[in-house]
Each structure stands twice: as structure tokens, then as C-alpha cells.
């Protein structure tokens, strides 16, 4: 008991304090935070972070941003990787609740999110990142997929391109659908309609993107520019451009190193991935720190802006 008081810095006589501290040093005693939290009726002082693929730099930056904010509030980050498997996601969030995390940030893998609602998780606060909730209400942080794609495509059109191809994720992915919508909207705004023959919504990595681009650029009516929905696909398209030695202009979502050193002009949609993590952590902390008796307040949504960067030849 006296030790507890000393460590909490309560009124203890200087003499006993010293004796206690000496013993603490000698024994290497460390207060058991687990037992402490249990006794205090508090959660674990950790926040869960469930991502789909930590190998993707976007998510590791997100993790870093979240860690920064969590750290400032004395919270640790518990990490889980789902590999886009909904089953794994279910197990992970369940486990995090059982470990009594203060809250969690989730990049949802599947199409249905009922198991991610705060209610389904026994009231544990949840923030969704990168993909919006479907079928539930939840705080969310998104990237401006639509706006970024639109602006980049508009840039190609403004440069005079009238045949802009599309290379991107399947529409089942929210980001894929949004970025396609942006591509389309830019055309409409310019009074144009994209040709479906120039749209490839299958490629998902460098080789498949390269193949799709080769096929597209090999047509008689090949597009003179390509919009790519992420940097893997942009790189694949660039490989195709190099191989065919065309001067196809490229635009793509996600900035990447060396974008300024390619042999064709590249326009890139850039954004701050750390910021996605920081905002998610802040939304979560708002929920966590809110008095638990008050009514929860409506779900909030914030969109991280993008900017278009044009790299010359």
C-alpha cells in the first residue's frame, strides 16, 4: 500500500519514500499496469490498429501517424494484419475487445461491416480508415479518392489529351470505384465521354498492369494518356510505355520516388498518409475521452485532401 502511494506520489513522509524508492531500485520492481487497470476499472490503455496489408507503405504510414497521436496520450498501439481476409478481421477485432483496448482503428476488408460497429463490439469505440462504413454508422477517415482522380484526369485533358485510358482496381473496392468515378467526372466536365474500350478495371499489381497497358497501347486507336489508380499500376504502365517506346502521358494515384525522373511526363495524386492515421487516432481519442454516460454523438467523417503534382519529362 505504501509502495502504491509512493509511486502515485501521494502524501508520504520523505523518509519512507526514500526507503521505498531504494527497495524499488534494488528489486527492479515495476508496477503491474495490467492489474492496475483492472482495479481501476479502466481499459488497457492501448488502441488496436487493424490493417489489410502492412507491406503497403500507405498502411505503414497510417500506422506511424496513429502511433504518433496515441503516444502523445500515453496509449500504445496493438497491431493486426488481416491480409484482406474478413475472417481474420473478425477474429482480430474480437480479440482486441477481449483484451479491453480503449478503442480501435480498422481498415475494413470486406463488403459488410456489421461486425465492426461499436455496438457489436460491446461499446468499444471504432474508427474506420481508408474505406467508408457500409451498413453501419461509424467515424471514418477517407482520402479524397474522387477529387484526386478527377483533378489528375482533368490535368491530362487540359494538356490536350482526348483519349485517356483507365487502368485500375476492380470496382468492388471503394477506392477503385471512387477513383473511376473521378476519372469519369473529369471527362464529363470537359464535355467528353470516356470510351469503355480504354477502360481496364482488372489489374492489381505491376505485372498485370503492364500487361493491360501493353494491350491497350497496342491498339490502333490507342489512348495517348493513361490514368492509373495506384502507384503499382502506374509503374506497370510505365514499363509498358518504356517497352513500346511510346510517349504516352501518365497520371496516377499515389506519389512515388523517382516519379520526376521518368522518360514521360507523369502527373501524380499526392496525399499525406500519416495524416490519415493521425486523424483516425484523434477521432478515436475524442470518443474515448468523452464521458461514457453522455449520449454518443453522431458519427463523424473527415476527408484527407489530395494534391496533384505534375512532373515534367
Name the residues that contact a copy of itself, by CB under 8 A. 28, 30-35, 37-38, 44-46, 49, 54-55, 57, 60-61, 63-64, 67-68, 71, 76-81, 94-100, 120, 122, 206, 235, 238-239, 242, 257-258, 261, 274
Phi-psi region of 102 (alpha: psi -120 to 50; beta: other; left: phi over 0): alpha
DSSP string of 139-187, one letter each residue: EEEEE-HHHHHHHHHHHHHHTT-S-EEEE---TTSHHHHHHHHHHHHHH
Angle at 60 between CA 57 and CA 65, to 5 degrees: 125
Nearer to DNA, 91 or 197 (CB): 91
CA distance 68 to 263: 38
Window of 29-37, 150-158, 214-222, 257-265 that interacts with DNA by CB under 7 A: 29-37
Which member of 9, 28, 35, 298 binds DNA (CB under 7 A)?
Answer: 35
Which member of 25, 26, 41, 160 binds DNA (CB under 7 A)?
Answer: 41
Q: Which does 5 bind (CB under 5 to 8 A by kind): a copy of itself, DNA, none?
A: DNA
Window of 25-33, 45-53, 160-168, 182-190 that interacts with DNA by CB under 7 A: 25-33
Residue 7 engages DNA in binding (rule: CB under 7 A): yes
223 phi/psi in degrees, rounded to 5:
-65, 155
Residue 24 engages DNA in binding (rule: CB under 7 A): no
Residue 38: CA count within 13 A, CB half-sphere: 7
Q: 306, 147 in Cβ contact below 8 A?
A: yes
Residue 39 engages DNA in binding (rule: CB under 7 A): yes
Return the sign of the alpha-carbon dihedral for residues 179, 185, 187, 192: positive
Q: What cell numbers appear for 187 in the block?
A: 471527362
Q: Which does 87 bind (CB under 5 to 8 A by kind): DNA, a copy of itself, none?
A: none
Nearer to DNA, 1 or 172 (CB): 1
Site for DNA (CB under 7 A): how many residues? Answer: 22
The contact set with DNA (CB under 7 A) reads 1-5, 7-8, 11-13, 15-17, 30-32, 35-36, 38-41
Amino acid at each position: 500500500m505504501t509502495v502504491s502511494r509512493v509511486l502515485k506520489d501521494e502524501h508520504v513522509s520523505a523518509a519512507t519514500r526514500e526507503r521505498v524508492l531504494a527497495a524499488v531500485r534494488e528489486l527492479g520492481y515495476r508496477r503491474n499496469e495490467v492489474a492496475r487497470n483492472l482495479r481501476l476499472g479502466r481499459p488497457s490503455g492501448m488502441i488496436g490498429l487493424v490493417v489489410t496489408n502492412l507491406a503497403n507503405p500507405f498502411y505503414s504510414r497510417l500506422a506511424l501517424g496513429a502511433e504518433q497521436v496515441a503516444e502523445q496520450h500515453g496509449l500504445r498501439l496493438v497491431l493486426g494484419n488481416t491480409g484482406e481476409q474478413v475472417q481474420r478481421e473478425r477474429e482480430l477485432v474480437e480479440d482486441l475487445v477481449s483484451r479491453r483496448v480503449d478503442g480501435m482503428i480498422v481498415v475494413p476488408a470486406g463488403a459488410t461491416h456489421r461486425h465492426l460497429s461499436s455496438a457489436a463490439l460491446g461499446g468499444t469505440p471504432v474508427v474506420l480508415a481508408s474505406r467508408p462504413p457500409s451498413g453501419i454508422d461509424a467515424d471514418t477517415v477517407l482520402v479524397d479518392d474522387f477529387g484526386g482522380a478527377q483533378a489528375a484526369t482533368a490535368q491530362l485533358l487540359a494538356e490536350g489529351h482526348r483519349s485517356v485510358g483507365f487502368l485500375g482496381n476492380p470496382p468492388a473496392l471503394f477506392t477503385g470505384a471512387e477513383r473511376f468515378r473521378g476519372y469519369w467526372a473529369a471527362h464529363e466536365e470537359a464535355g467528353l465521354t470516356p470510351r469503355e474500350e480504354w477502360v481496364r478495371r482488372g489489374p492489381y499489381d505491376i505485372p498485370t498492369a503492364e500487361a493491360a497497358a501493353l494491350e491497350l497501347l497496342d491498339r490502333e486507336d490507342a489512348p495517348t494518356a493513361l490514368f492509373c489508380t495506384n502507384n503499382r499500376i502506374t509503374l506497370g504502365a510505365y514499363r509498358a510505355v518504356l517497352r513500346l517506346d511510346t510517349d504516352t502521358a501518365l497520371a496516377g494515384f499515389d506519389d512515388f520516388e523517382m516519379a520526376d525522373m521518368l522518360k514521360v511526363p507523369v502527373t501524380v495524386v499526392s496525399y499525406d498518409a500519416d495524416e490519415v492515421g493521425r486523424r483516425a487516432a484523434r477521432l478515436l481519442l475524442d470518443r474515448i475521452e468523452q464521458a461514457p454516460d453522455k449520449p454518443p454523438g453522431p458519427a463523424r467523417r473527415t476527408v484527407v485532401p489530395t494534391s496533384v503534382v505534375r512532373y515534367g519529362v
